[in-house]
Amino acid sequence: MLKDRIARVLRQAAIDAQQQGTIPSVTLPEVTVEHPQNPAHGDYACSLPLKIARAARMSPMDIAKAMANLMAPIPEIGRINVAAPGFINLTLKNSWIKQQVELMIEMGEDYGNITLGQGSRVQIEFVSVNPTGPLHMGHGRGAVLGSTMANILSTAGYRVEREYYLNDAGAQIDVFRQSLVAYYRQALGLPGEVPPDGYLGNYMVDLAKEIVAEHGDRFAALSTEEAAMQLGQTGFDKMVEAIKKDLTLLGVEFDTWFSEKSLYEGSQYEDTMARLNQNGYIAEREGATWFASSALGEGKDNVLIRSNGTPTYFASDIAYHRNKFCERGFDKVIDIWGADHQGHVPRMKASMSALGIDPDRLEIIITQMVTLKRGGEEVRLSKRSGDIVTLNEVIAEVGRDACRYFFLARSADSQMEFDLELAKKQSTENPVYYIQYAHARAASIFRLAEEKCIDYSSGDITLLTTEQELVLIRKMLQFPEIIEVSANSLEPNFLPYYAQDLATAFHNFYEKCRVVSTDEGLTMARLKLVSATKTLLARALALMGMAAPEKM
């Protein structure tokens, strides 16, 4: 990537300057290259002179000048200048910039693909909510982050597998089954008492009524235990199908639905506990089995098996993650969890260390809460059900694309407000509409060109000389960098902001530069530029899981 080559040339210039004695020999930090906020300062800027000035006891401007004088030629760079208080600014050659339009057209949908991952295997596990209730906004945020991150990592050269961890075992499922039996009996007019820690909400009542409508009283004569198993499995299957349906509406698909129960049906759970014991991280006390995580720097030990003999979800998670690394051989695992799992992160990392797995291979992203608003007022309850507002209801109101964009537009570690009214606006105030309208505008230009039977394949891109044309090309050139920074940081929120900036550059070009005109040569050149832009807008929208409309 050009940015990396520039950084290497700058670093070598600093080393050469030190060897020649024009700047003192000090430890050089990582050399980074950024895009200046002010385009007048160039396309790239380096602040290394400012970073080493104090240690070198030398003026940053003098350091910058010494480095600039020793920089090896970079064919793509037309101008290098030093700017106060100590920046090295680099400007691309306009001739090279224009040539990239041809490259973008040639590469098509492959433009932006990079080889960062080198084919390594990455698993992203996300959503994974217990199938004991409907998906809400927080689950939707994790779903969109996970699916977009998977798209970005695939584009960055990783082999990605998307996974949903299906909690079909454990205490929560038992409580769900018992609760459903009570609601089912009530729906039949029979006595039924929901457990004290049971699941509440109208969705449970509706689920019981649905089962009665389909199966009648066939489960009523069964023992409580047998009814919990048979009826509970029917309800469980329905909840899983509802979750899958909602995720499909959101444009989220999984390669694997991994069953927690499978860990216990085979030997994986027992093998994991045996490995922890063998490595000296199991302790027995108070009638329970503990993971001695304090030996790994944790503040306290954690229960693995309760005194009644049932495993905790932490024990299941350890076995599950050992399966990911040791059984299925993923090079890296990324988990996307909700805010209520924050405290689970350090002990999960510690458990990997206890199993002999490098904890740095496990990356855990915590998503913060989502507040739903309508015209400035917080929305807490569903008008339809009287409970929490479900993800399904929000998708039905604002559409998939708006949901995906707004969930992506903030970093995972920041709380966010989702404004229903803004998400529905058909105006440039709504970034979703603004970006998609740019693609639709590009499509309309080509419909006009087709009507006029214009063949632009021989267009001469050297005719692209206006500021708006060059700004647009420069913005497109940043796309591979956006993929790289998003993949390295695991922050897909860079993508929606880039898409909005690209749309802005295109709208400005559209307003100032007439594409189809009486100037045949300029028309063909600008159609090439529009072609490249349209493809890239569609690519960015596709990575975010959004549609690229031809008309609006």
Residues 363 and 374 both lie in one domain: no
- Predicted pLDDT of residue 382: 61
Residue 147 domain flag:
yes
Residue 404 domain flag:
yes
CA–CA dist 328, 326 (Å, integer):
6
Q: How far is CA 519 from CA 4, 462, 522, 525, in A?
A: 39, 14, 6, 10
CA–CA dist 185, 192 (Å, integer):
5
Residues 341 and 242 both lie in one domain: no
Pairing of strands 256-259, 159-166: parallel
CA–CA dist 107, 101 (Å, integer):
10
Q: What is the dihedral of CA 379, 544, 167, 288, to 10 degrees?
A: -90
CB proximity list for 41: less than 8 A, separation 6 or greater:
83, 87, 89
- 325, two tokens: 């690394």
Residues 266 and 356 both lie in one domain: yes
- Predicted pLDDT of residue 150: 98
CA–CA dist 252, 244 (Å, integer):
9
CB proximity list for 519: less than 8 A, separation 6 or greater:
none
CA–CA dist 77, 63 (Å, integer):
20
- Predicted pLDDT of residue 222: 93
Residue 328 domain flag:
yes
Segment holding 101, helix H or strand E: helix 94-107
The three-state secondary structure class of 184 is: helix
CA–CA dist 355, 392 (Å, integer):
40
Residue 552 domain flag:
no
Residues 265 and 355 both lie in one domain: yes
CB atoms within 10 A of CB 453: 6
Cis upstream peptide for 85 (omega within 30°): yes
Residue 99 domain flag:
no
Burial label for 525, CB within 10 Å (0-12, 13-18, 19+), is buried
Residues 375 and 362 both lie in one domain: no
Q: Which residue shows structure tokens 């000389």?
A: 465
Residues 40 and 53 both lie in one domain: yes
- 440, two tokens: 């639709």
CB atoms within 10 A of CB 286: 9
Residue 109 domain flag:
no
Tally the domains of the chain. 5
Residues 279 and 216 both lie in one domain: no
- Predicted pLDDT of residue 375: 80
Burial label for 144, CB within 10 Å (0-12, 13-18, 19+), is buried
Is 250 within 8 Å of 136 (Cβ atoms)? no
Buried/exposed code over 226-265 (b: 16+ C-beta within 10 A; e: otherwise): ebbbbbbebbbebbeebbbebbebbbbebeeebebeebbe
Among 249, 284, 313, residue at a domain's last position: 249
Question: What CATH code is carried by the domain that includes residue 459?
Answer: 1.10.730.10
3-state helix, strand, coil in the chain (%, to 5): 55, 15, 30
Reading across the β-sheet that carries 87-92, which strands appear in turn?
A: 44-46, 87-92, 77-83
Q: How far is CA 141 from CA 88, 138, 238, 252, in A?
A: 40, 5, 23, 11
The reported pTM is 0.93
- 118, two tokens: 């080198």
Residues 158 and 204 both lie in one domain: no
| Strand locations in 179-329 (E) | 256-259, 282-285, 288-291, 302-305
Segment holding 177, helix H or strand E: helix 171-187
Question: What CATH code is carried by the domain that includes residue 151?
Answer: 3.40.50.620
Residues 363 and 376 both lie in one domain: no
CA–CA dist 346, 158 (Å, integer):
26
Closest CA to 539 of 69, 152, 215: 152
Residues 452 and 500 both lie in one domain: yes
CA–CA dist 303, 436 (Å, integer):
51
Centroid of chain to Cα 27: 36
Is 502 within 8 Å of 436 (Cβ atoms)? no
Among 249, 271, 306, residue at a domain's last position: 249
Pairing of strands 302-305, 77-83: unpaired
> How does pLDDT run along the chain (552 residues), one tens digit per residue?
899 999 999 999 999 999 999 999 999 999 999 999 888 899 999 999 999 999 999 999 999 999 999 999 999 999 999 999 999 999 999 999 999 999 999 999 999 999 999 999 999 999 999 999 999 999 999 999 999 999 999 999 999 999 999 999 888 899 999 999 999 999 999 999 999 999 988 899 999 999 999 999 999 999 989 999 999 999 999 999 999 999 999 999 999 999 999 999 989 999 999 999 999 999 999 999 999 988 898 889 999 999 999 999 999 999 999 999 999 999 999 999 999 899 899 999 999 999 999 999 999 999 999 999 988 888 876 655 556 789 999 999 999 999 999 999 999 999 999 999 999 998 889 999 999 999 999 999 999 999 999 999 999 999 999 999 999 999 999 999 999 999 999 999 999 999 999 999 999 999 999 999 999 999 999 999 999 999 999 999 999 999 999 999
- Predicted pLDDT of residue 386: 54
Q: How far is CA 19 from CA 13, 40, 87, in A?
A: 10, 33, 21
Question: What CATH code is carried by the domain that includes residue 36?
Answer: 3.30.1360.70
CB atoms within 10 A of CB 368: 16
Range of the domain at 177: 171-249
Is 97 within 8 Å of 524 (Cβ atoms)? no
Among 201, 225, 249, residue at a domain's last position: 249
Residue 97 domain flag:
no
Residues 157 and 288 both lie in one domain: yes
Residue 149 domain flag:
yes
CA–CA dist 195, 173 (Å, integer):
13
Residues 433 and 537 both lie in one domain: yes
**Direct distance between the N- and C-terminal alpha carbons of the chain, in angstroms, rounded to an integer:** 36
